[in-house]
Amino acid sequence: MKGRHRAIRVRGFARPQNPQYQSYPVKPAIRPAPQFRPVDLPLGPAEVAAGLRHLPGLVFFDSAGNLARPQALSLIGARPSQLLEGRITNVDELRKELCAREVDRPDCGFPLGAACGWIRYDGEFQFGLYDHLLVFNHATGRWFEVGSLLDELHPAPLPPLEIPGPWESNFTRAEFVERVRLAQQYIASGDIYQVNLSQQFRVSLSHRDPLLALYERLRAVSPAPMAAYLQQGGYEILSSSPETFLRMNGRSIETRPIKGTRPRFTDPELDSRSAFELQTSEKEIAELVMITDLLRNDLGRVCEFGSVKVTELLKHERLEQVHHLVSTVTGELRKGADQLDALQACFPGGSITGAPKKRATEVIAELETVPRGLYTGAIGYLGFNGESQFNIAIRTLERDGPALSYGVGAGIVADSDPEMEYQETLQKAEGIRLALAEGNRGPAQSQAAQR
């Protein structure tokens, strides 16, 4: 756009004064908040999502599992009014659409309409604009309706679904191990300190049936606090991600990088031993500290000076299949920056690229043989009232035409054991493999497979 305009407003999706950000013409005043109301709905989020599957553009952001936090929400939407596509390096059109829909921010704690979608690892994005949502507050057990969806809810069991095999990786074990050694050569030469290296599994589907039944199996065997299912714009996304890329409430922002993985065991003693090994691993501790510092710097690019803080460091968290180490970094967006600026400053996430980030992404492009697609991008929503969140798209299946794929990776440092890093990628895929295996079993076998 021609010319520059001083921002007259800094809350939500403001047009900034800072010349390093793109500025936009003044727009009309913020709209009043749309109507939302509590509803009496004796169903869980998965049942509601299944009951709305006949509607176009179904999205289901799912806070599941034992890590669901006190503010955890599950958000279900359908019938987007518009789809927007572009690249994260140029969000002009997306920002204008969000500005046009910005609403007052009553203290309700959830989005009052949202742009829902994803950003691929290469920066391509797709967002649908959703005015109709059902929101479940996990802390209170209450449902809320924004717009109108309840009248179109038709609960019904999902039909059985079979996923064919075999799955094929772009790497053999030997090839992946060799790529780890090549990455360590870059580390030894001082190019990078750490890099995330991944492999991709792929299968061709012989049917066009929606994969919501597969997602429900995935959330049963591997529930995660940042999970999601989206059927939008010709794509289908199934994610059981545990990792928060960005959570934003107005001008407050939080990121929670994950590093370090060890398997879970049904035997309590073995499980405790596995957790202790993770918590005392010098490699895993050094990796997370490094990435935490990287994300402090990323947030510092768009946050008020002195507001960026590490509120949790090296916290141990248990998922259904694995143990992880997690940090939490928070900040306050500075005057002239908005939530899209934060996405641009932090994308792609440091925990799934490496340090320094720019050179690590170059090494990834050289060593990995296929594009990552959505894997290690981000899935989430930008609320019209500033309530927004995105995951890191790990433990995520993507359907594009007949192809169904998922990626798994490991963080490589100087003293990494290449064989152990290969095994770590398989541990991270365990939930997906269990869900796929259950799809081809009878009900009794499926129940027995759950831990």
Q: Give all domains of the chain, ordered by start, each with its CATH number.
A: 36-449 (3.60.120.10)
User: Which is the catalytic residue, given 102, 145, 236, 259?
Assistant: 259
CB 260 within 8 A of CB 286: no
- Residue numbers in the chain where pLDDT is lower than 50: 1-26, 439-451
**How crowded is the C-beta side of 312, counted as CA atoms within 13 Å?**
13
3-state DSSP call for residue 2? coil
Confidence (pLDDT) at 40: 94
Q: Is 243 a catalytic residue?
A: yes
CB 411 within 8 A of CB 425: no
Q: Is 216 a catalytic residue?
A: no
What are the residue ranges of helices labelled H in 60-113?
A: 92-101
Residue where the block lists tokens 């289908």: 236
Compute the distance between CA of residue 120 and CA of residue 88 in angstroms, rounded to an integer. 9
**How crowded is the C-beta side of 240, counted as CA atoms within 13 Å?**
30
CB 187 within 8 A of CB 423: no
312-325 as b/e, with b when 16 or more CB fall inside 10 Å?
eebeebebbbbbbb
Compute the distance between CA of residue 313 and CA of residue 394 in angstroms, rounded to an integer. 21
Q: What predicted TM-score, i.e. pTM, was given to this entire model?
A: 0.89
User: Which is the catalytic residue, given 102, 243, 284, 332?
Assistant: 243
Compute the distance between CA of residue 12 and CA of residue 300 in angstroms, rounded to an integer. 18
Structure tokens at 174: 């030997």
Task: List phi, psi (to 5°) of 115.
Answer: -90, 115
**How crowded is the C-beta side of 389, counted as CA atoms within 13 Å?**
26
